A and B are shown apart, each in its own frame.
Chain A
């Protein structure tokens, strides 16, 4: 069974730039959630994707957007980067539907630094 993978592991950008982060869900999982974890804090929910559509969103501005592909992998895009966007971005996968489980399994994260 393949776990959740994320790429890249680290990224450095400057203010105003755009970034795309990628996530492959655990095999058998059809739902992907993205979280932002600032230093010393717990993860904060950004949004969730199910059936290639956004299925709920946290308190994040529209410049945070995402995609889900037919193979359930997902992207997180952030436009017009700000210094406060520096954080660990975590992807979590789970299965939704008939054989749903409530448990979300996390990838190793992408460390984004905005200068």
Chain B
């Protein structure tokens, strides 16, 4: 199935460090969303982006919708142990003829060393 290119695949960082991950696509999307998934759970929505160039924050998380509408990045500042999990980007195409289905990246696994 179709997937976005998400990198890095995994990260192992020290508590307090900043984290950056990104997602690219060959297709244009109307919306970019970032989710976090813990083991055995469903993805939890972190940030939704609706306009090219938009920069949105949610606490220590900041995400941007790329100008070309083909990419997005997520930054986590001052990481803490509870940031551990798998982060997914998802692109969405809306409008006539589109269901608004989400196309996901492969995920970035984040581990934080106390």
Contacts and interface: CB of A to CB of B under 8 A. Distances in A.
A86 interface: no
A107 B42 contact: yes
B1 to A, nearest CB: 4
A108 B33 contact: no
Interface string A39-79: 01111110010000001101100000000000000000000
Nearest to A38: B1
Contacts of A48: 99-101
A103 interface: yes
A21 interface: no
A41 B94 contact: no
Interface of B: 1, 3-4, 6, 30-31, 33, 35, 40-45, 48, 50, 88, 90, 92, 94, 98-107
Given A107-B42, A109-B41, A102 B101 contact: no
A87 interface: no
Contacts of A33: 99-102
A43 B104 contact: yes
Contacts of B106: 41-42
26 contacts: A4-B42, A31-B100, A33-B99, A41-B3, A41-B106, A42-B6, A42-B90, A42-B105, A42-B107, A45-B101, A45-B102, A45-B103, A48-B99, A48-B100, A58-B1, A90-B43, A92-B102, A102-B33, A102-B94, A102-B100, A103-B33, A104-B45, A105-B45, A106-B35, A106-B43, A109-B41
